[in-house]
Amino acid sequence: MNFQLTEEQELIRKNIREFAAKYVEPIAAEIDENERHPTELFKKLAEGGWMGIPIPTQYGGSGADYLTNAIVVEEISRSCSSTGFTVSIHVGIACMLILLFGNEEQKKKYLVPLAKGEHMGAFVLTEPGAGTDVMAATTTAAKDGDFYVLNGTKTFISNGPLADTYLVFCWTDKAAGRKGMSSFIIPRGTPGLIPGEHFHKMGLRSSQTSEVVFKDCRVHKDNLLGKEGAGLTNAMTGFDHGRVGIAAQSVGILQAALDESIRYSKERVQMGNPIARHQAISWMIADMATDLEAARFLTYHAAWLKDQGKPFSKEASMAKLFAAEKAMHHTIKAVQIHGGYGYIKGAKVERLMRDAKITEIYEGTSEAQRMVISGNVLR
């Protein structure tokens, strides 16, 4: 058993930590407050090759592994969860799905600019009536010669307002059940693809989220991602990869909660002592540190399995479930440690607590993760 990261992974962690401290941390509160997508920051991330880490260099990526990507998402999220997540969904789902299921031409046309960070990707699956119940989706793609005509409404689409490349999942043959859904790569500007306005959210506020509406949107059959009918399988593979990213994001949030709690509890004096010396506080911090380690190991293990070419669906769900729930639990504790100061806008722990909640909801709720895990262990 080897718990040692490679020298490259360790150096990359140091570098992204320095990058995050220099460019992400100083703007994190502002972009949260103003719900702003920091274009200038993503340009810098693209320059450093941080937007396509596990994508091979011939497709515009950096050619590292998926564990390195998880480490980077974690470290960015430690400074700004919104930014970490935007990298995560762009790389973990949009880029990875084209890499895994796209043909050579699609990879050259769509993956290269995505992996270089020149374009942003979006994963377009959820609908107003179809969250955990993916089969309840109603968006359709009707065949018309060499074209498909899409109609329907998707919602809660991360990067929805700003993406250049949308990966869209809809029914090509509803009667075929699980084999009736297909996935398409649709570039922004395609007539009939209508991105909506940014939703105002409780947390993760600088990540841009919207509806995406399809109104007689005609796409050529060349835009099919994988075979017709493979949409659901593609989506589930996307989730497996994406969940490692959300787990990493949650680990970053947890680490930040621990960093802030340690710093504040050593400074804050009550009843003649720093509150870190009060057992009520120090035990909260002990639990936080322990759960952080456990969440990190689960996450890295899932990423490592992926890099070894082994099945990792169950482990990705376990990592995502555990890390997300612990991030929520401990960011509440971190605010408690900060007392009134933690409840004031501008306190980092206040933002962490709001940002943590979504990790229990998106890319499969905690309940959906338990369905995946129990389905795996009970079969």
Partner 1 sequence: MQRPSALGPYQKQGIPMLDIIVCFKWVVDEAFIRRTSSGDLDFSSVDYKISEYDRNAIEAAVRLREECGGSVTAVTVGPPEAAKGVKDALSRGPDRAVFAEDPLFGGLDPSQTAAVLGQVISSKTPFNLIICGEGSGDVYSQQTGPRLAEFLGIPCAAYVQKLTVKEGRVTAERKVEGFIEVDSLPLPALVTVLPDIATPRIPGVKDTLMASKKAVIKVGKNELTAVPPPLLKTKSVRAARVERECEKFTAEVEDIKRFVAALQKRGVLK
Query: Applying CB under 8 A, which residues contact partner 1?
Result: 7-8, 10-12, 14-15, 18-19, 22, 47-50, 53, 57, 62-64, 68, 72
Residue with tokens 């680490």: 255
Q: In the complex with partner 1, which residue's Cβ is closer, 50 or 184?
A: 50
**Tokens representing residue 344 in the block:** 């004031």
Residue with tokens 């649709």: 186
Least separation, in Å, of the C-beta of 333 and partner 1? 25
The single-letter DSSP state of residue 200 is P
Least separation, in Å, of the C-beta of 10 and partner 1? 7
**Rg (Cα) of the chain, in Å, rounded?**
21
Q: In the complex with partner 1, which residue's Cβ is closer, 103 or 282?
A: 282
SS3 249: helix
Q: In the complex with partner 1, which residue's Cβ is closer, 52 or 231?
A: 52
SS3 129: coil
Q: Give which of 63, 57, 60, 88 is closest to 12, Cα–Cα.
A: 63
Q: Which parts of the chain fold into alpha helices (H)?
A: 7-19, 25-34, 39-47, 66-79, 81-89, 96-101, 104-106, 112-115, 231-267, 279-307, 313-338, 348-359, 366-377
Least separation, in Å, of the C-beta of 88 and partner 1? 15
Q: Give me the count of residues in the chain.
A: 379
Cα–Cα distance measured from residue 357 to residue 330, given in angstroms and rounded to the nearest whole number: 11
Q: Give which of 246, 249, 231, 253 is closest to 364, Cα–Cα.
A: 246
Q: Which of 25, 105, 363, 367 is the catalytic position?
A: 363
Q: Give which of 120, 235, 218, 148 is closest to 183, Cα–Cα.
A: 235
Helices (H) and strands (E) in the chain, counts: 13, 10
Least separation, in Å, of the C-beta of 23 and partner 1? 9
**Tokens representing residue 2 in the block:** 């080897």
> Cβ contacts of residue 282 below 8 Å, gap of 6+?
265, 276
Q: In the complex with partner 1, which residue's Cβ is closer, 12 or 125?
A: 12
Told to judge if 367 belongs to the known catalytic residues of this protein, a careful annotator would answer no
Least separation, in Å, of the C-beta of 50 and partner 1? 6
Contact 349, 285 (CB under 8 A): no
State phi, psi for 297 to the nearest 5 degrees.
Answer: -65, -40
Least separation, in Å, of the C-beta of 117 and partner 1? 11
Q: Which residues are the active-site residues?
A: 363
